[in-house]
Amino acid sequence: MKLFYMVMGFMAGLLPLSAMSAVSGYQRPVPQPQSATAELWFLLATVMLVVSLYVVHRVVKGR
């Protein structure tokens, strides 16, 4: 009976491999380049982060 469970466990372990071979034609999607608008928003967020870090620095330094 123990051998039966070992064989069934082994077969269950091979099951995902057969599913992966069925989709062997899968191609990963290629990421699209960022637009100018996205780059502008990223720049704005970066500047705001640096400004907020400086404000926190001044508040902590003043204590």
Tell whether 23 is covered by a domain.
no
On whether residue 52 sits in a domain, the answer given is: yes
pTM across the whole model: 0.49
Task: Report the number of distinct structural domains present in the chain.
Answer: 1
As given in the structure block, the two tokens for residue 47 are: 């500047």
At residue 13, φ and ψ (nearest 5 deg) are -70, -30
Which H or E run contains 50?
helix 36-62
pLDDT digits (tens, 9 = 90+) for 11-61: 777 666 656 555 567 788 888 888 999 999 999 999 999 999 999 999 999
Report how far apart, in Å, the C-alpha atoms of 34 and of each of 6, 22, 31 are: 51, 33, 9
What is the domain range of residue 44?
37-62
Please state, in angstroms and rounded to a whole number, the distance separating the CA atoms of residues 54 and 61.
10
